[in-house]
């Protein structure tokens, strides 16, 4: 592999093209870059750590198999998050957006992240374990429709448009759900807590996920070569 500084400079588009051209090991870039995003999506569905990791592996393998189908119509982040959402949906066998209250298109979008703090280090972890559990528990108690929007917008930093596209709902409904989710959480969560402090996907887990995904991909390649 190339030096880590060089890997970080490789864009998704370049990485994908090189992977498709045979540099399979570069898929590690994709896994490391999106581990935290996918982990938060899975946890927002209520899955435990182990189940979420299984869903992440399935998502990465699925994305690898269909990588040639990615057409840059949306960001790669939106594309792979949608795959993760589908994995979560199929596992849970329920994901309903019926009876969504329609809203006016001019509904104000308070787009400043609830946890935004320009001076905070989003890579740090909460030192108070009990507090971290309180935060995670608060997010888990939001109804699923609102919890998912909250996770994509606030914890994963996706735009209103990206969130709407990923969830197949209108931008107005994204705004409504987010504002309601914030209202539900405001008493339990303080604005100074960073997104990285909730549903933390630590480096030790990141390395393990890279290993799992790359082994699965190597097996896929081996099976393909055997069939030739």
Q: Give the DSSP per-residue string, 121-150.
A: -TT---S-HHHHHHHHHHHHTS-HHHHHHH
Please, which pLDDT band fits residue 131 given cuts at 50, 70 and 90? low
Q: Which of the listed CATH numbers 1.10.10.10, 1.25.40.10, 3.40.50.720, 3.30.1180.20 matches domain 107-197? A: 1.10.10.10
Dihedral Cα 140, 105, 79, 99, nearest 10 deg: 50
Q: What's residue 204's pLDDT?
A: 72
Separation CA 24–CA 170 (nearest Å): 37
Contact assessment for residue 172 and residue 107, using Cβ atoms and an 8 Å cutoff? yes
What is the reported pTM? 0.67
Q: Around Cβ 93, how many Cβ atoms within 10 Å?
A: 6
Please, which pLDDT band fits residue 193 given cuts at 50, 70 and 90? low
Q: Is residue 160's pLDDT more than 70?
A: yes
Percent of the chain whose pLDDT exceeds 90: 49
Q: Is residue 45's pLDDT more than 70?
A: yes
Q: What's residue 121's pLDDT?
A: 42
Between the CA of residue 143 and those of 88, 149, 182, what are the distances in Å? Answer: 16, 10, 12
Q: Is residue 123's pLDDT more than 50?
A: no
Please, which pLDDT band fits residue 134 given cuts at 50, 70 and 90? low
Judge whether 1-95+200-228 and 107-197 match in fold: no
Stretch 105-124: mean pLDDT, rounded?
A: 47
Separation CA 210–CA 57 (nearest Å): 9
Stretch 125-134: mean pLDDT, rounded?
A: 53
Stretch 2-6: mean pLDDT, rounded?
A: 60
- Looking at domain 1-95+200-228, its CATH architecture is Orthogonal Bundle (1.10)
Average pLDDT, the chain: 80
Stretch 43-70: mean pLDDT, rounded?
A: 93
Supply φ then ψ for residue 72, to 5 degrees: 60, 20
Q: Is residue 107's pLDDT more than 70?
A: no
Give Rg (Cα) of the chain.
18
């Amino acid at each position: 592999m190339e030096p880590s500084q060089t890997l970080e400079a490789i864009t998704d588009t370049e990485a994908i093209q090189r992977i498709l051209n045979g540099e399979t090991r570069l898929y590690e870039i994709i896994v490391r870059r999106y581990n935290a995003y996918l982990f938060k999506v899975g946890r927002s569905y209520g899955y435990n750590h182990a189940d979420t990791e299984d869903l992440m592996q399935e998502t990465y393998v699925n994305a690898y198999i269909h990588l040639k189908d990615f057409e840059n119509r949306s960001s790669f982040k939106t594309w792979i998050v949608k795959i993760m959402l589908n994995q979560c949906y199929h596992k849970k066998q329920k994901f309903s957006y019926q009876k969504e209250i329609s809203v006016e298109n001019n509904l104000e979008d308070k787009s400043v992240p609830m946890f935004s703090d320009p001076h905070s280090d989003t890579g740090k972890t909460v030192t108070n374990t009990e507090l971290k559990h309180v935060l995670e528990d608060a997010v888990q108690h939001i109804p699923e429709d609102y919890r998912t929007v909250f996770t994509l917008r606030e914890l994963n930093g996706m735009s209103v448009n990206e969130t709407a596209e990923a969830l197949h709902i209108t931008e107005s409904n994204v705004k409504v759900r987010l504002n309601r989710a914030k209202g539900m959480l405001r008493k339990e969560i303080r604005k100074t807590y960073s997104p990285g402090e909730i549903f933390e996907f630590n480096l030790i887990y990141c390395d393990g996920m890279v290993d799992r995904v790359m082994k699965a991909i190597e097996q896929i390649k081996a099976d393909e070569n055997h069939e030739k």
